[in-house]
Every structure is written in C-alpha cells, then in structure tokens.
C-alpha cells in the first residue's frame, strides 16, 4: 500500500505542472466548449489514469532508468527512433512555451513587459544549468502541494459565489476558439500533450519499483487524484469565466479576485512551477543531445535556452494554441503505440509480476533475522531469479534493498561503512 501511495503522489506531482497552474491550458482544452467541456475533463481523467497505469507498469517491468529502454523493446526500430524524436522535440517546445508563460505571468501581475519576465526566467535557467539541477529541483518540488492547496481554495471560494446564470457563462466560454474540436478529441489531445511531456519521468518512476502491480495501481490512483484536481480547476475556471475570459494567466486573476495578497503569493508559486518545468525541459534536452559528448553540454544548453527565448517572443497564448495541439496529436500516437505493446505483453507482464512476488517473499525470508532461510529456499530463489526477464543480479539487488528498507535493516554497504568507522576510531 505504501508503495502504491508513493507512486501515485509522484505521478500527480509530475502531471500538475506549470501549464495546469496557470489555468490557460484547461480553458483551451475544456472550458472553451462550455458546459460539455466539463465532461471532456472527466473523459481526459479516465484516460490519464489508464495510461498512467500502463506507463508506470512498463517502467517497472523493464526496471527502466530512462524512456529509451522501453522504446527499444518495441516491435520496430524505426518506431523506437520516432518516439524518441517526438519526446526530444517536445522538450524544446514546452521549454520555449514556459519562457513565454513566465513573461505573461509577471506582465499580468506587475505590468512588466513580457520580455523582462521571460528574460529573468532565461537567466535563472542558464545559471541553474551550471549547478546540480537535481538539488535545485528538489527545493522547488515543495511548490506542487501549494498549487494543489491553491486550486482547492479557489474551488471552495467559487462554490460559495456561484453565479445565477451559468447558461450565460457557457455561451461566453464558447466564444473562445479552441484549436482542437470536437470536445472529446480536445480531451484526448490534452491527454496526449500531458503524457508525451511526462512519459520519460513516468517510466523512470515505475522503473524505481520492482513491484509491477503496485506501479500499475499507483498510476491508476494518481490518475484518479489528478482527475479530481482537474475537475476542481475546470469548474472553478468555468464558474469564474466572465472575470477571466481575457486573462493570460486565469488562475492568477481568480486569486486576485479572492484577495490581492493571494495573487502576490500565487504569482511566485506559478513562476516557481514554470521554472521547475523550464529547467527540466532544457536540461533534459541538453543532456539528450550531448549524450555521446558530455563536455559540450554547457554550450549546447546555453544555445538551446537562447533559441527558446527568441521563440518566446511570439507570445504565450499564441504559442499554446499553435504548439500544444501538435504535441497533443504526437502524444496520442505514442499512447496508442505503448498501449498496444502493453496489451500484447500482458501475459509476460503478469508472469513476471508473479515471479517477482515469489522472489520478494524469498528475499524477505532471507533478510529477516527472525526467520530461517533453508538451502531449499536458496535454490528456489536462484531458480526464480534465473527465470526473471530482468538481469538476475539487478533484480535481486533492487528487491533486497526494498525489503531491507521495509524491515528497517542496514544495507551491506552501510554495515561495512559502520565497521570501517569503528575500526578507524579504535
């Protein structure tokens, strides 16, 4: 259960990004269809949960530490290459859209020209690229719960201020042109966008867990929780549409209407979310393009950031309406491919899941100091490891670490370090 919960929360944190925080993409994909757009949010949530379960389970099945490990196991080499290219291009596209979003965010709140906010974000991203990005991103990760709290606050406030004429809101919302229609296709396009953006980390999150069933359940639970968040945000934006129709950052406007002080907090929460997404996109892209020659990372990274800044001058709203649908269709194709692969591999995945459960039971008995581990059980463990599709050494080491954590036991490396410390002290 603990594994399922931790996977679910990690998946939600991945999906609730900068685009969700601004509210702009929710208007583009759902609210622009009026009342029926709320059903689009439900449809999107259902598919998000199913796709999340598939992505995370595939990552767990292959014990993947990067998305290409899964892509390479597809039926055709050209398909693997195509998916990798799609993910790579998405990193750059989302990166320059985020730079534009940073400009719009500060422009709406403080009246600054958009190039200043985008330029400030550019400088922060480039400077961060010279340091340990993981540590910086971990510091920013606490912002995600704040976004969730902000959405809940806005939702509750809106429920106490429901306008009498919701039909008028529906008509007003439908005047906003959506780049994808009808509503059900827009919902699926939104899924494609979010999942293509999140596929790399989804696979890695799953790959950190050997329990394929827990990974699938975590993806499913995370998708359900995300659906609840999406519906709350969509209802809030719909019922407030007469106030936010022309806003580049709708969530910021809603907070301003609740209280100006909340808007001042929200603007920097959104900026931090944009920063986290932006550095993730450009850093991952730089690493991907310099995988065979890492010494060129810094110059490539800086050039990519500058290129993204140049494209950001097109404008946040314009870029979202043009770029996001293209990414969405590419993501829909990727979902179909991975879902098809998962369906064809269900027998092998189920077999591997049962095998890992057996390995886990035997390893737990071996590691538990209160239990007796017989030579017969040792042979059973050796046989089960040999049958696993994963490398025997890798699966045994990974499951052993998980079991030791569950039993609160020290790992062999920790024990050796402790012994060395005692020896040195003596």
Give the mean pLDDT of 191-216: 85
Omega before 149 cis (within 30°)?
Answer: no
Please state the pTM of the whole predicted model: 0.79
> What are the residue ranges of helices labelled H in 17-76?
18-22, 24-29, 36-62, 67-71
Q: Where in the chain is the domain with CATH 1.10.4160.10?
A: 2-344
Task: Write down the mean pLDDT value for the chain.
Answer: 84
The pair of structure tokens assigned to 148 is 């969730």
Give the model confidence (pLDDT) of 35-89 as tens digits: 999 999 999 999 999 999 999 999 899 988 777 778 888 767 888 888 888 888 8
Residue 203's alpha-carbon distances to 6, 281, 388, in angstroms, are: 15, 16, 19
Q: What average pLDDT does range 234-242 have in this prediction?
A: 91
Least confident among 80-94, 234-248, 411-425: 411-425
Contacts of 264 (CB under 8 A, 6+ apart): 109
User: Which residue, among 197, 234, 238, has the nearest Cα to 323 in the 3D structure?
Assistant: 197
What letter does residue 247 receive in the DSSP assignment? Answer: -
Q: Which of 330, 362, 340, 331 is nearest to 58 (CA)?
A: 340
| Cβ 334 vs Cβ 199: under 8 Å | yes
Instruction: Tell me 87's DSSP state.
Output: H
What confidence score (pLDDT) does residue 265 get? 86
Q: According to the model, what pLDDT value does residue 410 have?
A: 63
Cβ atoms of 226 and 12 within 8 Å: the answer is: yes
Q: Which CATH superfamily is domain 2-344 in?
A: Hydantoin permease (1.10.4160.10)
For residue 130, pLDDT over 90 is answered with no
């Amino acid at each position: 259960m603990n594994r399922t919960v931790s996977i679910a929360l990690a998946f939600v944190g991945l999906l609730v990004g900068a685009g969700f925080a601004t509210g702009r993409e929710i208007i583009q994909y759902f609210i622009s269809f009026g009342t029926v757009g709320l059903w689009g949010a439900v449809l999107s949530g259902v598919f998000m949960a199913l796709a999340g379960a598939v992505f995370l389970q595939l990552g767990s099945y292959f014990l993947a530490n990067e998305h290409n490990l899964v892509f390479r196991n597809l039926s055709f080499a050209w398909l693997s290459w195509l998916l990798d290219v799609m993910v790579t291009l998405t990193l750059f596209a989302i990166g320059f859209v985020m730079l534009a979003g940073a400009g719009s965010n500060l422009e709406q709140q403080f009246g600054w020209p958009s190039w200043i906010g985008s330029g400030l974000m550019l400088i922060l991203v480039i400077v961060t690229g010279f340091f340990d990005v993981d540590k910086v991103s971990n510091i920013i990760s606490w912002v995600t719960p704040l976004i969730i709290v902000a959405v809940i606050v806005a939702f509750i406030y809106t429920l106490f201020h429901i306008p009498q004429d919701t039909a008028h809101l529906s008509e007003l919302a439908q005047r906003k042109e959506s780049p994808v229609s009808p509503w059900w296709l827009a919902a699926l396009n939104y899924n494609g966008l979010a999942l293509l953006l999140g596929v790399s980390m989804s696979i890695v999150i799953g790959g950190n867990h050997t329990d394929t069933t827990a990974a699938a359940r975590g993806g499913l639970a995370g998708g359900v929780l995300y659906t609840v968040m999406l519906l709350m945000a969509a209802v809030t934006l719909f019922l407030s549409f007469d106030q936010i129709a022309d806003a580049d950052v709708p969530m910021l406007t809603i907070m301003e209407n609740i209280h100006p002080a909340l808007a001042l907090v929200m603007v920097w929460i959104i900026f931090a979310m944009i920063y986290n997404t932006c550095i993730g996109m450009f850093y991952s892209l730089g690493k991907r393009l310099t995988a065979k020659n890492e010494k060129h990372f810094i110059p490539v990274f800086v050039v990519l950031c500058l290129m993204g800044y140049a494209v950001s001058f097109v404008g946040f709203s314009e870029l979202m309406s043009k770029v996001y649908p293209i990414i969405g269709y590419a993501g829909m194709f990727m979902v179909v491919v991975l879902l098809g692969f998962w369906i064809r591999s269900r027998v092998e995945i189920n077999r591997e899941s049962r095998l890992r459960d057996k390995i886990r039971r035997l390893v737990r008995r071996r590691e538990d100091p209160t239990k007796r581990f017989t030579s017969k059980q040792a042979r059973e463990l050796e046989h089960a490891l040999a049958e696993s599709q994963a490398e025997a050494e890798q699966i045994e080491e990974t499951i052993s670490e998980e079991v030791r954590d569950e039993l609160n036991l020290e790992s062999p490396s920790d024990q050796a370090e402790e012994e060395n410390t005692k020896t040195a002290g003596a």
